[in-house]
Amino acid sequence: DYKGQKLAEQIFQGIILVSAIIGFIYGYITEQFGWTVYIVMAGFALSCLLTLPPWPMYRRNPLKWLPVPESGTEEKKPADRKPKRHAKS
């Protein structure tokens, strides 16, 4: 559902932002750029773990789909359709 997608996106961006800020500050204090990269990568892994699987918190508002038409209903055959007209160049 769309609300679940929005929530997942907000969580993902929030974790990435917080880990980037913490990583930058820690890397600046220790003067080691490698720690910055490690912390951001750990934040990325955590955010993927929290947002990629279809957790129930993301499926609270399911969409209602149209019913599947039965196979015995009228279906247009290719010969019944009007040919598409192409725009002139």
- At position 64, the amino acid (one-letter code) is K
pTM of the model: 0.68
Q: Measuring CA to CA, which residue among 47, 1, 43, 10 is closest to residue 26? A: 43
Domain coordinates in residue numbering, the chain: 2-58
Residue 32 sits at φ, ψ, to 5 deg, of: -130, 110
Question: How far out from the chain centre does Cα 43 lie?
Answer: 17
DSSP helix/strand/coil, 22: helix
Splitting the chain (89 residues) into consecutive groups of 10 residues, what average pLDDT does each group show?
Answer: 92 97 97 96 97 90 86 60 66
